[in-house]
Amino acid sequence: DAGVIQSPRHEVTEMGQEVTLRCKPISGHNSLFWYRQTMMRGLELLIYFNNNVPIDDSGMPEDRFSAKMPNASFSTLKIQPSEPRDSAVYFCASSLRGVHEQYFGPGTRLTVT
CB of 42 to another protein, least distance (A): 6
CB of 65 to another protein, least distance (A): 17
Residue 54 and residue 69 in contact, taking contact as beta carbons nearer than 8 Å: yes
Strand partners, 56: 48
Residues in contact with another protein by the rule CB under 8 A = 4, 35, 42-45, 48, 56, 91, 93, 97-107
Q: Which is nearer to another protein, 15 or 43 (CB)?
A: 43
Q: Which is nearer to another protein, 16 or 28 (CB)?
A: 28
CB of 81 to another protein, least distance (A): 27
Measured CA distances, 106 to 3, 25, 50 (Å): 9, 12, 21
Is residue 106 packed enough to be buried (19+ CB in 10 Å), middle (13-18) or exposed (0-12)? Answer: middle
